[in-house]
Chains A and B, each alone.
Chain A
Amino acid sequence: MSSVSRRKLITTGLAATAGVSGLAVASRVAHRYGLIPPDHGGLYGIGQTLTYASQRLLTRHSLAREFPRSQISARPFANGKPPQGDDFKRLEAGNFADWRLAVDGMVARPASFSLAELRSYPSRSQITHLACEEGWSFVAEWIGVPLAHVLNVAGILPQARYVVYFSIQPDWSDSIDMADALHPQTFLTYGMNGGELPVGHGGPLRLRVPRQLGYKSVKYLTRLTVTDSLKQFSSESSYSWYAGI
């Protein structure tokens, strides 16, 4: 073996060792600061982790852009069909007077809220962009109560890491980390463009997560679960869990 190739071998070996131990340290630091998304495994785990980690470092406290009233889209597109189940139709016939939002899991005081109770909390509004992963979007005024307010009423336990939220539509749920759950623009939304939230847009109750793509803004919310692990809520979705993109 010539000395040049031996030197190359040693250099390469050192570089590889440094690289591997660097990655190990990075992984520990990332875990400690909550920079690893639940879908970090698998074929696209590297991309999901890089996106989530870098955006958590850059955007943890940033506010979604808000627009002047003049930029509200005249014709917002309501994607999908309203729920076809009998339970939804019965609640809709009663003008959603009996609609409830259950809050359970890692909270001090599990509770169930009526729409009237949610409306009695301090109301906020935001004029933000809703962008679908398909490529289309619209700007609307969203009216509701910050999710953080309701979570504080229920009392989040210190070990809480995620909020899982469920639609009345079977098999439709999603989850966000506490950075988005406690973000001041994450709303339990019951109003839109000055009126009630139309059924087509998720009425009577929709979560709005304006710093993520539209699919995280699940419609027809009936239940929130605060948890420290998403293992039992695993879904088959091939879409990124974190959709700040």
Chain B
Amino acid sequence: MADSACVPSLAAAVPATTETPRHSALVRVTHWITTLCFFALLVSGIEIVISHPRFYWGEAGNVLTPPLFHLPIPASRSSVPTGYGYVLPDQNGWSRSLHFQSAWIAVLTGLLYAVSGLLTRHFRKNLLPAGADLSRRAFSGVIANHLRAKLPGEAEASSYNVLQRLTYLLVIFVLFPLVIWTGLAMSPAIASAFPAAVTVFGGQQSARTIHFFVSVFLVLFLLVHIVMVYRAGFRNRMRAMITGRAGAHKEHP
């Protein structure tokens, strides 16, 4: 994989190594804590959802009411009609405890990241797209490159293109807050103190359904994220996110 072959002129313009790290220490640490929490939340979330793989809209819903949709999977509770002749082992106890503990760590880590990102102008410098990049022409250029499966040039080893910027902003400021909010909206105690946090979604079952879909979007983001990191040069990008250094050598995997 010769990354520089795509944009040779840029490759020459950008120095291979710089004094400032590709990612700040805080970004690196919060990235990997969030990664660990995300996997814990995903595994425990799947465990929780198989105890009732049916989804509803509104305030209430149970096996006696028609679902909005159901996942065609077996369940871990015999009370749920799934069409399968067996019941999966019930792992909700530790799964729920792990889910909420990971959520706490992820939320506190995310707060640290968000506050420092505002203070250090990380969001403005690295994630907010430049006005010119949002023009239809610049935008369609980036999309066309993506569709042609064109590999990122060296310029993108030290900065993000407009699609990346918008995606990260969407994940950080829309999907993560929404998945936290819908999670909290399922809590009976939080609903008692902040009823509007639930009614804005149309009810606690609606919040649960939205929580599921936002989680699906986050998993899709993760898959695309991993594929893109792999295509852009897995070892260099991993080194950049672990040590902070973008890497002096071109990669020849």
Contact = CB atoms under 8 A, between A and B. Distances in A.
B140 interface: no
A237 B93 contact: yes
Contact of B51 (A135, A238, A245): A135
Interface stretch (B57-65, B112-120, B213-221, B245-253): B57-65
B51 A134 contact: yes
B61 A136 contact: yes
Interface in B83-99: 92-94, 96-98
A33 B125 CA distance: 44
Given A65-B195, A135-B48, A73 B77 contact: no
A131 interface: yes
Interface in B25-80: 48-49, 51-52, 54, 59-65, 77, 79
Nearest to B107: A50
Contacts of A65: 191-192, 195, 198
A126 to B, nearest CB: 12
B132 interface: no
Contacts of B51: 133-135
Range for the number of chain A residues in contact with chain B: 35 or more
Given A62-B192, A244-B188, A245-B186, A47 B63 contact: no
Contacts of B103: 47
Contacts of A75: 62, 64-65
A134 B192 contact: no
B182 interface: no
B156 to A, nearest CB: 32
A43 B105 CA distance: 14
Nearest to B65: A75
Contacts of B92: 133-134, 239
Interface stretch (A89-97, A108-116, A209-217): A209-217
Contacts of B191: 64-65, 129
A211 B205 contact: no
A133 B54 contact: no
* Majority-rule SS of B interface residues: helix
Contact of B59 (A62, A129, A238): A129
B223 interface: no
A137 B204 CA distance: 9
B59 A139 contact: yes
A132 B54 CA distance: 13
B17 interface: no
Interface string A50-71: 1100010011001111010001
Contacts of A139: 59-60
Interface string A173-185: 0000000000000
A74 B101 CA distance: 36
Interface in A4-48: 43-44, 46-48
Given A62-B189, A135-B48, A245-B188, A129 B204 contact: yes
B226 to A, nearest CB: 27
A172 B92 CA distance: 18
27 contacts: A44-B101, A46-B104, A47-B97, A47-B101, A47-B102, A64-B188, A64-B192, A75-B62, A76-B64, A77-B62, A77-B79, A129-B204, A134-B51, A134-B77, A135-B51, A136-B52, A137-B62, A137-B205, A139-B59, A210-B192, A239-B96, A239-B97, A240-B96, A240-B97, A244-B187, A245-B100, A245-B187
Give the 8 A-B residue pairs with the shortest CB-CB distance, closest first.
A47-B101, A244-B189, A238-B93, A135-B52, A44-B97, A75-B64, A77-B62, A136-B62
Interface of B: 48-49, 51-52, 54, 59-65, 77, 79, 92-94, 96-98, 100-104, 186-193, 195, 198, 204-205, 208
